[in-house]
Amino acid sequence: MSVTTSRVKRAFKYRFYPTDAQAAELSRTFGCARKVYNLALAARTEAWVRQERVNYNATSAMLTAWKKTEELAFLNQVSSVPLQQTLRHLQSAFTNFFGKRAKYPRFKSRKKSRKSAEYTTSGFRFRDGELTLAKMTEPLDIVWSRPLPEGARPSTVTVSQDAAGRWFVSLLCDDPSVQPLPATDMAVGIDVGLDHLLTLSTGEKIANPRHERQDRDRLAKAQRNLSRKARGEGANRARARRKVAKIHARIADRRRDLLHKLTTRLVRENQTLVIEDLTVRNMVKNHTLARAISDASWSEFRSMLEYKAAWYGREVIAVDRWFPSSKLCSACGTLTEKMPLHVRTWTCDCGTTHDRDVNAAKNLLAAGLAVTVCGAGVRPQRSSPGGQSATKQKPPRREP
């Protein structure tokens, strides 16, 4: 497997505490960026109905004209850089749509959409460890929880505010410390589950902490309190909504922290990692298991595993979802006709007693290693340069 030696672009995310003036400026910027996005989306949609072509350059010219109108003159009050970046994001959304990689872009909601603004190098100043954004006189009060790479110069800065009211800044930098790890002959099969979050082909089982279940009572109480507040823009409802958002943020933060630790450890220890290509989007349609599956966050686990494998020169192989990993004896290869979910241990005709999950992980590993030789039975990786792919992606369709 060829390994890329170019530097990795890596985002470093930090919490910061804006002054009242900075918070007001950023809130205006979020609102203006959302307005520009919706105006450009409406213009492109109308043009598409008329079978006309409107691209980024055309919407950029529209933005200049909008700023000259009396109705939209307030767009001049914020930095133009985040507004231009918003138009570029819309262009990317349309490119993904016409390439059949995403649905048609949707309008951004003031209440539900993510509040964020992206600044390129012309929209910020980073000097002596201090970050100052355009239209601001004071640097941001950032909590540097970890250092940036030595000599790093951010190429992009993204400022965001989550539903819990917390402010974050993300700095995109070249990270020379991310280099391919020394090659090893270790390989592991990974079976994801609900009783145990991960089961490895080595026999190790990693418990599922069920973060959402731990805070379910607190979350339910906060949601009941929110439901009693009158709908509208009242301060009481806003406080109740933030309380619910803080509980959700606590759950998500703990889940993400665990997944980062697990994926980093697995990638460092193994050269080849074999997983099952699960369709989580379809699985969560089962209303009995949807909550538990979402809490386990299998998709986020796979995403982390793939990009870290690409960073460190490892290989992730996804075995076809129809491969009978649970029903196949890893000792003799006998296929059992039925294997209900409640059966956790079973004995094969050859006399081998299997733990269902460990046996599945062993079979996944064997199938994955076979794939590296013959290239059969693997689903294409989701835009991961470090993964194994058996089919070619179709080229994106040109935008009309």
Residues acting as catalytic residues:
191, 276, 357
Take residue 284 and report the two structure tokens written for it. Answer: 């969560």
Return all residues near 126 (Cβ < 8 A) that are at least 6 apart.
132, 153, 154, 157, 171
The conformation of residue 361, written as its DSSP 8-state character, comes to H
Return all residues near 318 (Cβ < 8 A) that are at least 6 apart.
274, 275, 276, 277, 302, 378, 379, 381, 387, 388
Sheet holding 8-16, edge to edge: 115-120, 156-161, 167-175, 8-16, 142-143
8 A C-beta contact, residue 273 and residue 309: yes
Residue carrying structure tokens 């201090």: 130
Q: Which long-range contacts (CB under 8 A, 24 or more apart) does 92-98 make?
A: 94/44, 94/399, 95/396, 95/399, 98/396, 98/397, 98/398, 98/399
8 A C-beta contact, residue 263 and residue 308: yes
Take residue 281 and report the two structure tokens written for it. Answer: 């989007």
Amino acid at 305: L
In the three-class reduction of DSSP (H, G, I as helix; E, B as strand; rest coil), residue 331 is classed as: coil
The C-alpha R_g of the chain, in whole angstroms, comes to 25
